[in-house]
Structure 1
Amino acid sequence: MSGVSTRDIGHRVVVRHRLEGGQATDVIGVLQSYDEQTLEVRHADSTPYRIQRAAVVAAKPIPPMPLRRVDVEQLFLTTALGRPAVETQYVGEWLLRASGGWTGRANSVLPAGDPGLAFSDAAKQAEAFYLERGLPPLALVRLGTPEADAFSEVGWTDARPEESDTLVLHTTLDHVNAQPAYEVLVSDQPDAQWYDAAFEGPVPAAAPPVMEGAPRTAFASVELDGRLVAVGRGSMTGHWLGVDAVRVDPAYRRRGLATALLQGLARWAGPLGGRRTYLEVVEQNAGALAAYIGIGYVEAYRYRYLTKR
């Protein structure tokens, strides 16, 4: 079996092997294990195929699956559905979100689609929505779009000029569904320990309804030395896996724990129909950004928050 060895574990391979009836078939996926008797290939949908080496006709490593062009408009909406706010209203197709002030995403207007009225009037309705709830008016706008320019034209300005852009990254699931280096526990409900690890200090009142509000969610964790030291959240929207709330205890950073969480959530999402994955990271978080790019994520778009003062 030339061309495949233990060094290829974690990488995509194609394996041609014979079934019991004698016919040959190919399996393409990530090589998960390789020993004297068997090898295991994990397909893009996370289905594992254990193959006897004696049945292998040929095998070789292949390049990672190329990324298809992402539908940015669809992804923009998908990110909102993956982490729904406590309260939502619509102005035409615009989504107004409020969650007691916890996180910008859950307390901002998502100007996607047609608001159904003049832009200035739609912006005024959004402003009134937040002022009625004692919240600062916020709009999450993709940079370089007509919506970003239109908000500026009606007096909205950068809400957080001291912060860097937020990047939305994406990749295909088979780039990140390799075997994690740590045991990753995945549950459909977070417990008190998960929240304690996810937050430094008290858990905001709006956090549980926001983080548990999506139709299909998963809460991943890694336990070391008798306690949770890394946690992350996953949500499924169509074929998209969204990953957020990744937090690693400072004493355990730079050990690959964040990557392990991503891989564990990818393996959860594959059997549910997951094919692609996205996450968000602020540009100034250079360490996290480098780690995500290193395992195959690329930039889809970037955004900032605008406000009306």
Structure 2
Amino acid sequence: MSGVSARDIGHRVVVRHQLDGGQATDVIGVLQSYDDRTLEIRHADSTPYRIHREAVVAAKPIPPMPLRRVDAEQLFLTTALGRPAAETQYVGEWLLRASGGWTGRANSVLPAGDPGLPFSDAAKQVEAFYLERGLPPLALTRIGHPEFEEFTGLGWTDARPEKSDALVLHTTLDHVNGVPAYEVLVADRPDAEWYAAAFDGDVPAAAPAVMEGPPKAAFASVELDGRVVAVARGSMTGHWLGVDAVRVDPAYRRRGLATAALQGLARWAGPLGGRRTYLEVEEENAGALTTYTGLGYVEAYRYRYLTKR
């Protein structure tokens, strides 16, 4: 079967094969599995299609699907589901999140949709929610969107003026799921080694609840010289793979380890129906941004945290 092998798993292929009646037909999709007897193609709608190798007439890899325009409103909500907070409440459709102060995303309001109240009244409820928990009021607001202007008009100010914008990037999954250059272990639960590689010092108390909270989560790691030197976390929300907690030991950077971890997570997500992927990065993190854009990620939107002091 010239042109296709096990190394093409995770990439788009076209396979011409004979049906029982003798007619030939083409199947296009992502190569899901490949062995001595069969290969399995996953269509764009995630339907698997198994083909016996003796029926194959021809097969070859084909370029990835063009990157389609993203629904930024859907993605804005998806990012919250991929990393759920320890505690949540709603003001109308606004999502209030609290997790003991660990990370801005897990301790801020996501002002998406209709709060069911005048904006100023909803903002007061947001303030009260966080002050009751001893946390600073935070709103994750997309730059250039009406809620950003509404909050600033009520006296909310930049919570982190010393930091650059946070960028939410996205791409098609088969832009990312190439063969990793290193062996990547993907586990359903993180162990002590994973957490030790993901954090400097003690693991924040809220971290396990937040990171292990989604119904479908995976924890990737790469081991070199007898220890874990690179990690990343993935979560599935619908057909979206969210990636975060990407960290490489400083002594092992610039070796493609972050890329390998992302590719390992992308290959985990494919059989679960993954079709697209997103991640977040601060604009000032030039190294990470170069890695991600090199894998085909592009900006969907950017945001900042606003606070009421």
TM-score above 0.5: yes
User: Which one-letter code corresponds to 2:187 in the other structure?
Assistant: S
Structure 1 counterpart of 2:131: 131
Residue deviations 1:1-36 (CA, integer Å, cap 9, x gap):
99x589x968644343446764423343567999xx
* Residue type of the alignment partner of 1:98: A
**Number of equivalences:** 304
2:119 corresponding residue in structure 1: 119
- Separation in structure 1 between the aligned mates of residue 20 and residue 262 of structure 2, nearest angstrom: 36
Work out whether residues 89 and 96 of structure 1, in 8 Å CA contact, stay in contact via their aligned partners in 2: yes
Residues of 2 paired with 1:112 and 1:206: CA distance? 24
* 1:121-200 equivalent positions in 2, closer than 5 A: 121-200=121-200
Verify the 8 A CA contact 2:4 2:60 in the aligned structure 1. Answer: no
Is the partner of 1:234 in helix, strand or coil?
strand
> How big is the shift at 1:40?
7.2
Q: Percent identity?
A: 81
User: 2-side partners of 1:227 and 1:20: how far apart?
Assistant: 51
Q: 1:251-275, CA deviations, whole angstroms, 9 ceiling, x for partnerless residues? A: 1111111111111111111111211
SS of match in other structure, 1:95: strand
Contact map agreement 1:231 1:261 (CA 8 A) in 2: yes
Given that 1:32 and 1:42 are in contact with CA atoms closer than 8 Å, whether structure 2 keeps it comes out as yes
- Report how far residue 136 of structure 1 moved: 0.9
Deviation at 1:216, TM superposition (A): 1.3
Q: Which moved more, 1:124-133 or 1:104-113?
A: 124-133
Taking a change above 3 Å as real, the CA distance of residues 119 and 253 of structure 1, as seen in their structure-2 partners, is same
Q: Output aligned runs, 1:297-308, within 5 Å.
A: 297-308=297-308
Matched residue SS, 1:194: helix
- Which amino acid counterpart does residue 24 of structure 1 have in structure 2? A
Matched, 1:64 2:86: no
Q: Using a 3 Å threshold, how does the CA distance of structure 1 residues 19 and 254 change in structure 2: closer, same or farther?
A: farther
Equivalent-residue separation in structure 1 for 2:67 and 2:29 (angstroms): 15
| Mapped contact 1:32–1:178 kept (Cα < 8 A) | no
TM-score normalised by length of structure 1: 0.88
Structure 1, residues 54-103: CA drift from partner, whole Å, max 9, x if none?
86644555332012221111111110011111111111111111111100
User: Which runs of no fewer than 5 residues in structure 1 stay unpaired?
Assistant: none
Cα gap change, 1:31 to 1:241, in 2 (>3 Å): closer
Structure 2 equivalent of residue 242 of structure 1: 242
RMSD, aligned CA: 2.7
8 Å CA contact retained: 1:46, 1:271: no
Structure 2 length normalisation: TM-score? 0.88
Whole-Å Cα distance in 2 between the matches of residues 268 and 26 of structure 1?
A: 26
Equivalent position amino acid for 1:272 in 2: L
Q: Distance in 2 between matches of 1:283 and 1:156?
A: 22
Superposed, 1:1-309 pairs within 5 Å as: 4=3, 12-18=12-18, 22-29=22-29, 43=42, 57-59=57-59, 61-309=61-309
- The C-alpha deviation readout for 1:93-133, integer Å capped at 9, x for no partner, is 11111111100000001000101111011111101111111
Residue 103 of structure 1 aligns to a residue whose secondary structure is coil
CA–CA distance in 2 between the matches of 1:80 and 1:305?
A: 15
